[in-house]
Structure 1
Amino acid sequence: MLRAMNPPSSSSVRRWLRRAGWILLGSWLAYLAVGNAFLNVDAAQSLLKRKPEKFQIAWDGGHTLLPGRVALRGVRMQGHARRTAWTAQAAHARGRIALLPLLAREIRIPWLEAEVVTGSVERADGDIPSPAHRPGGWTLRFDRIASDSIEGGRVFGVHVAGSGRAEVGFSKQFRGGPAELFPSTASFSGLSMGDGEVQWMHDGAVEAAFSMPALPSGQSGQARLQALQASLALQGRPLGLRAELDDAGRYAFHLAPGAEGGELDARLSLRNGALEPGGTLRLQLPLRARDADGAASDNALALRVEVDEDLHLQAQLPDRDPAQPSLDVELRLPGNALPLGDWRTRLVGSEGHVRGRWHMPSIGGVLALFMDSDWLALEGSGGIEADLQIGGGRLREGSTLRVRDVQARADVLDTRFEGVAHADAVLAREGEGGLQSRVELVMEEFSAARHEQPAQPLVSGRDLRVRLVSDGQLERMRETLAAHLVFKDARVPDIAALNAWLPSDGLRFGGGSGTLGADLRLDAAGDIGTGSLRVDARRARIEVAGLELAGDVAIDGRLRGGNLRDGRLSLDGSRVRLRNVAFRERDGQLRSGWWATVDIGRGEADWKSPVSARGDIQARMRDVGFLLAMFADRGDYPPWIGRLVDAGEARLRGRWAWRDGQLVLDGAHAENDRFTVDARMKIEGSRRRGDLHLAWGRLGVGMELDGAEHRLHLRNSRAWFDSRPSLLP
């Protein structure tokens, strides 16, 4: 028979409960001893520093009363993510650590409450590249970090103070694992912002909510921004601005303490990289502007952004003083995505207008809206008056631009023209034709120098004008641009400066003064279609073949089909006039009153270094005295030649070339009604070499020249001359 079981007595139950109580009390006391000791030794902090270069936490002391529940004081955290470093401090913090997740390599804080919180977010000194993902990394997870006593901190150098509260949660897996920002909120009242010395904004309030799904490590900032979900409501009273224009044409902006009246109101939401419809931003700032002469004016800058299916931007700076900046901007950018990597594409579809007057430190990019040219550029700062009508990302008909006091340069024919300029640009239609961009630039004063030595000006002048016309579509401006460059009577204090453009030492200007003018038609590459260069020199000295001429020189250079890239241009139709010329032969005899007109029927020049030129000439001259003097003194010729030298006007034709430092004349034939002269000569520096034949009826004489030596050929002189080799192919 089974023995009946007797129920435990009440005394045994009490003993069992008493024993269990002592066990629990002992366990709790043991936990208190071990847990509190653990919290106050370095081992606890080291456990949480699995990646000290990315995350660290420390505290001054703490205690625990229940397993997993911890209270700390003097808490300090810091982290480093790519190029951003952050810190957080709390006077007190209490929370719970989930113990079981530690077995799965997860440090999980289900909740953490902090008091008297400050922090910072700064640009880090270095970059920690995201490591390649490897399995097995520890996970740091804060489900909820809450505080209702946030006092502020520093964000990228900006000091923030006020009374704030926040609830934030995030998770990060080490070894290149994903990061996630849980739905979080933050708010501030009595908000102020500044640089530590001056408050930029006061009496502010902010309400924000944000979250970001788990993203793999190594995602770009743009990718993270695309994934961020956020809303922001911000109000405040910002300080005004002070804008001062310096001598370099740059505005320096400073905060203006005491300038009241600023307002900021922003209500924006971001989802999937786009601003949600209904968002607005309104900013108004008092502005005191001071120009380079010290004149000041008070104004107010207003900025407004509205979001629907597109972005609408408005900016206003009323025109209250003609000497101070003004602005009227109204633009619609298609779509409401943030204009980040595709901002140029967004501008292509923009609509609206930009009007105003202001100074710009770099003005070339603005004028590039109206022209596309490599050889003409505006540099440095300058004043702008703009009325730009924008449609489909392009300037529309009626757009105008005026530029004042800007440094301009034009590179033409291996020459750099520089000076302070003003320019006017307009988009308009010519009759029934299409839309054209027209720009007129004027250098009121300019200097010119060889392109290789722009710091050594050789010519100075006034009123250099460049007129440009091209298709109004920006992408067609370069291929359709036509330019007209004109200036007159630029001063050449020392005409010898023009030697820098001459290809040979065989002909040099020795001195005198003169003027230079140009009338050139060019395209966007600086190639010359047609044009002219004119040099006028009075009492100029010219050195040719060891002889020095003194007189008046007029060079009328006709240029056509030039190409700066290849360096070639045509000289057909050019003319050189010499008047009132005097020269002294080698025997000391002075000749005066000589003149010549030289026409280039066919010629071309290569303007690239080394410079060279060649062509055919036809000339009229008083007599052939100078041509003969290039070979020898009159006393070196037979006596009958001396009686013919001055025997009337002569006509000459021939070929010439300047190349490799040499001046070459070949196939030269001069004649009048009584005699003929045939000649060929090569001049290199002071050395001369050539052949001459002079005939009067049946009389003839040949002369062979080699340096200072010359030899007469009296018998069969014509046959001798014809047997000599040509100097030019």
Structure 2
Amino acid sequence: MQGGLSYDAEHLTGGFDLAGEAISVRLGEQPLTGRLGLQLPIAELDVEGGAVDVSGTRFDLEAAAPGEAQPLTTSLALPVARFHSPLAWRELDDDALLDGETPWQAELELRGHVANLGVLDPFLTDLFNGRGLALQGGGRLDGTLQVRDGQPLPGSRLDVHSEALGARFLGFHARGDGRAHLVLRPGEPDPEASMELVFGEVDLTRLSDGHRLFQAEHLALAATARASPQATPPATAEIEWRGARIPDVSVLDAYLPPTALLRLHGGRAASDGELVIAGERAQGRATLTGDAIRGRLLQEAFDGELDVSLVLRDLHPARQHLDLSGSRLTLNAATNGGEPLRTQLAVRQARLQGGFDWPASEAPRRPLSGTLRLDGLLDRLGFLNAFLPDEHGLAIQGGGRLSADLHFADGEAMPGSQLRVHSERLGARFLHYEAFGDGSLIVTVNDPGAEFSLSLPRFGLRRQAGEGALIEGRLLNIHSRARHFDLPEGLRELSTRIDLPHLAAADLAALNAYLPQGGAIELLGGQARLATHLQLEGMRASGRLTLHAPDARLALHEQTLEGALHLETRLADGDLESLDFDVSGSRLSLDGVRLADAGGSLSHGWWARLELPEGRMRWERPLELDAQLELAMRDSGLLVNLLVDAAREQRWLRERLTLGEVRGEARVMLNDDTVRLENLAVQAGTRLELLANLALRDSQLAGRAFARYGPLRLGIELDGERRRWQLRNARSWYASGQPASELTLPDSGTWFERLEVQAE
């Protein structure tokens, strides 16, 4: 060290030069060891007036951190460096200095290069209300600092430029080629601190977990706040990014509420945007586009092109307030199953409060309130099924135009809230059926409860998971009223009416799946009109089903019938879990029938009336039925042909037993592959009596019958194609037989037993 001082009338002048090797210093929080050079000219040191002027000071340091070979170079020049205290220095003591209460003033100008910009942190941390601004890396400095009473004054400024500038602010870390500009402007009661950070190519990472958010061509941050740690007015910040490349969009999922309709799982995307933060509030806009984005939208997983335009009109996490009005989303992707998924959503209004777990809010979640209005085109409407209960099997599928006008208060959807869907490919499931067509869906919230209305003017109907032909129909209406509706439980305690007034089956044979398998009873053809009306209350059901086929063709054992068929089924006391119904009062009629037996005999104009005064049916495929049957027929020919073999030698017997205007009753039972008639009793006045217990499966007829015609008494044993006649004590012989419900039939033949093999 070398230098000199001159003292004259309480004033010192002179200067010092300090140079050294292996000097240990601390630059900011970083300990360093290396070469130091200091030029300290003392233009004036007024001991009495408490002033010092060291303008022209230079500081040079070339040093390395412990364990590092590459030294850091710092070179600073202070063209202006003046300090003043109103108290004479000789009056100061250490206690006053330690208390920090000694008033002082300073005027500094500095230029140069700093290896570690962290030395500025003590001056920057408190400028933005404790937001934690910190600079990193090395760079060029140019600044002016004016201080009074220990506080910076308006006009103070600092410019930093670095090719490797690092900045920590608002929970993020930015690093790249950039510059920083800080300035103090006049303000009341404290000066206003302004900061501007501008980066070229920059990496932005999240401090909480170190995950990279994006790399951007341009990132700018401007912030203002009162330059006092005690300042109460909130700081403001503006963030702008352009040409951002997000390597993994899943990092954005942390900023979405857990119940958000959109989740991001992976993929690269591009983004532009701007965000303005004022205290605890934020607003701005951002775009997100990518062609290989994986995620979930409205509970449907997707992989494809996503384009989001987010308009953030207001975000206040502390108050749990969010306004996304004007936002848009477009998705062209594929589902996990490979089906295309196209969705467009336009948010006309979205002003919400509460309802989510807000990341920046320490307050407990508030009940959802606010307004949500949106329009869109959706390929998947299945997300609506989350609000529909399982009890009536109601479900929606397909896609279409959606319009929602929803209002919430205290976690409840308010009366008047409505959701509308119109689709050219709307699918509706109910009970075990599904319908497809052009139609509309409306959900309206009432007080109390809600209403669900679905209408398909034209549609095709089939059983769920079935591959059979569709039954064409018109004017399907499903109207449900829920006694209770809440979020997220949806509709509860439903009362549903299902109307299918116009159904057209092009071929009656399509309904054979509801009849016992094996051909005992078979629908051969003909067109039919059907109508169904069902009322569902909770897990109970009632209604009616009608079928009219003017040219029906059907087969019963070895007989065919052609004519008009009309069925009226009354459904009561239904259990939706088992699909078991009371069908008492149901009727079937046949008119103008052409009846033909296996021998070719014909009968024209035949008719029959069948009624079930009591019975239950299980609405499955095939139907299961156990009912009392009352019947009336033009003649007994149909029943006689079942009992008597069609061989020519029995024709005389069939002719004797075939009489007109017969009436009777029986117990009829249908199950998977068997038709049973138990205690069949038919009379034609006093001339004819037919009794039978029969079971029919796979064209195999078994059982016993008794016939009385005048003085003739005849018992008949039926075993497949064989007939055995009983003439002695025929009635008592018949009475000793088994009822139809206990008859045993051979099992249906398997495919192997029916396989025909010919030796070569």
Cα distance in structure 1, aligned partners of 2:65 and 2:513: 93
**CA spacing shift, 1:152–1:613, aligned 2, 3 Å:** farther
**CA spacing shift, 1:283–1:464, aligned 2, 3 Å:** same
Report how far residue 466 of structure 1 moved. Answer: 0.5
Q: Are 2:282 and 1:281 equivalent residues in the alignment?
A: yes
Residue-by-residue CA offset, 1:266-322 (whole Å, 9 max, x unaligned): 216xxxxxxxxx42222257999xxxxxxxxxxx97432243851222233399xxx
Point out the more displaced range, 363-372 or 375-384: 363-372
Cα distance in structure 2, aligned partners of 1:190 and 1:558: 78
Q: Are 2:478 and 1:443 equivalent residues in the alignment?
A: no
Paired residue for 1:544? Answer: 556
Instruction: Give TM-score, length-normalised by structure 2.
Output: 0.59
Identity, in percent, stands at: 22
Aligned counterparts, 1:288-367, within 5 A: 302-307=311-316, 310-317=319-326, 325=346, 327-333=348-354, 337-338=358-359, 346=366, 349-366=367-384
Cα distance in structure 2, aligned partners of 1:659 and 1:72: 91
Q: Secondary structure at the match of 1:473?
A: strand
Q: 1:353, 1:390 within 8 Å by CA — same for their partners in 2? A: yes
Paired residue for 1:726? Answer: 739
Q: 2:438, 2:456 within 8 Å by CA — same for their partners in 1? A: yes
Paired residue for 1:648? Answer: 660
Cα distance in structure 2, aligned partners of 1:684 and 1:154: 86
Paired residue for 1:462? Answer: 474
Instruction: Give TM-score, length-normalised by structure 1.
Output: 0.61
Aligned residues: 532
Paired residue for 1:204? Answer: 220
Paired residue for 2:584? Answer: 572
Report how far residue 496 of structure 1 moved. Answer: 0.9
**CA spacing shift, 1:356–1:414, aligned 2, 3 Å:** closer
**Unaligned stretches of 5+ in structure 2?**
1-18, 24-31, 35-60, 74-112, 119-133, 141-158, 183-193, 205-213, 226-233, 245-261, 263-267, 290-308, 329-343, 743-760
Report how far residue 194 of structure 1 moved. Answer: 11
Q: 1:378, 1:406 within 8 Å by CA — same for their partners in 2? A: no
Residue-by-residue CA offset, 1:514-539 (whole Å, 9 max, x unaligned): 23321112246xx4510122222232
Cα distance in structure 1, aligned partners of 2:224 and 2:515: 73
**Unaligned stretches of 5+ in structure 1?**
1-23, 29-34, 38-62, 76-90, 97-110, 118-145, 168-184, 210-229, 241-249, 269-277, 289-299, 429-433
**CA spacing shift, 1:387–1:457, aligned 2, 3 Å:** same
Report how far residue 193 of structure 1 moved. Answer: 8.2
Aligned counterparts, 1:508-587, within 5 A: 508-523=522-537, 527-587=539-599
Q: Secondary structure at the match of 1:234?
A: strand
Residue-by-residue CA offset, 1:542-569 (whole Å, 9 max, x unaligned): 1211222222222222222333433422
Q: 1:401, 1:426 within 8 Å by CA — same for their partners in 2? A: yes
Report how far residue 327 of structure 1 moved. Answer: 0.6
Q: 1:459, 1:490 within 8 Å by CA — same for their partners in 2? A: yes
Paired residue for 2:70? Answer: 72
Report how far residue 383 of structure 1 moved. Answer: 1.5
Aligned AA for 2:313? Answer: R
Residue-by-residue CA offset, 1:26-60 (whole Å, 9 max, x unaligned): 999xxxxxx999xxxxxxxxxxxxxxxxxxxxxxx
Cα distance in structure 1, aligned partners of 2:504 and 2:653: 46
Cα distance in structure 1, aligned partners of 2:383 and 2:363: 20
Cα distance in structure 2, aligned partners of 1:301 and 1:92: 40
Report how far residue 382 of structure 1 moved. Answer: 2.4
Q: Are 2:496 and 1:483 equivalent residues in the alignment?
A: yes
**CA spacing shift, 1:604–1:160, aligned 2, 3 Å:** farther
Cα distance in structure 2, aligned partners of 1:303 and 1:464: 42
Cα distance in structure 1, aligned partners of 2:237 and 2:422: 43
Aligned counterparts, 1:222-241, within 5 A: 233-236=237-240
Residue-by-residue CA offset, 1:431-476 (whole Å, 9 max, x unaligned): xxx513111101233333333x334444222321110001243278
Paired residue for 1:671? Answer: 683
Q: Secondary structure at the match of 1:498?
A: helix
Q: 1:575, 1:599 within 8 Å by CA — same for their partners in 2? A: yes
Q: 1:391 aligns with which of 386, 409, 412?
A: 409
Report how far residue 208 of structure 1 moved. Answer: 11
Aligned counterparts, 1:139-150, within 5 A: 148-149=161-162
Q: 1:530, 1:561 within 8 Å by CA — same for their partners in 2? A: yes
Aligned AA for 1:267? Answer: I
**CA spacing shift, 1:188–1:618, aligned 2, 3 Å:** same
Paired residue for 2:137? Answer: 114
Cα distance in structure 1, aligned partners of 2:526 and 2:495: 36
Computing the radius of gyration from Cα coordinates, the structure with the larger value is 2
Q: 1:705 aligns with which of 702, 718, 732?
A: 718
